[in-house]
Structures are given as C-alpha cells and as structure tokens.
Amino acid sequence: MSNKKLAIIATQGTLDWGYPPFILASTAAALGYDVEIFFTFYGFQLLKKKMDLQVSPLGNPGMPMPMGMDKWFPVIGTAIPGMQSIMTMMMKSKMKSKGVASLEELRDLCIEAEVKVTACQMTVDLFDFEPSELIDSVEY
C-alpha cells in the first residue's frame, strides 16, 4: 500500500469525457499511487461490459473542430440529424490513426494496475442497473 493516493470521480459517459478518468488513473497507478475511480450518474456508461459511446460536442464547447466549423458547430451542429454519429466515427478514426488506446483498453489497463473501480449504489438503484450489465471488477 502506497502513501500516495488519488481519487477520481467519473460523472460523464461520452467518448470524449471517458478518457480523462482512465488516463489519470493509469498514469497515477504507474507512478505508484493507490488509485480509485468512483463512477456515478452518467459515468456508469464507462462500466458497461460493452461500451458504445458517442462524442458530445454540446457538453464540450472547447472541442477542436475542423477549420471553419469551430464557431458555429457546437451550437447548431448536433441539431443536424446523424451528425453526432458522424463526429463519433471521425473521432474514433482519428484516434486509431494516431495510435490512441480505446476506452476498453485503458479500462483493462487500469484494472490490471489494480485501480479500484467503485460504482455508486444510489446510481445503481436510481437507473435500475443490473450487476450483469457491468464489468466484473466493480465494487459497490
């Protein structure tokens, strides 16, 4: 047990907001910290056995956009049918071309590094999550 500890709260379950808790946790664990991620509300999407997450530019107005789209897109872009799926596909493609690990890979890395993964019991009850929907290493 280390005397260095880090607690992270995961509250968002979109593709773009799923990366920070896993990147921070895996890095801290590699540096010798005892790490715990507490998942609550929409962060539960990151605990599902099969993640099918999308990018959400509405929740992230600072997201870099292709030239010329950066000013208006976060406001009206997601109102265009199918645009969120297109943006998700573009983001996944760019991440793959740059060699960025998937969220599943980062989550597995965290579990392998003994990052404690804790689910909020109130959220389980509120949204009627079944333990069978979530990864096996979740604690409540």
Please state the rounded mean pLDDT for residues 90-115. 94
Average pLDDT of span 49-72: 68
- 8 Å CB contact between 57 and 73: yes
Residue 65 confidence class, pLDDT cut points 50, 70, 90: low
pLDDT for the residue 74 = 56
Counting Cα atoms < 13 Å in the Cβ hemisphere of 21 gives 31
pTM: 0.83
Q: Pseudo-torsion of CA 40, 104, 23, 77, nearest 10°?
A: -70
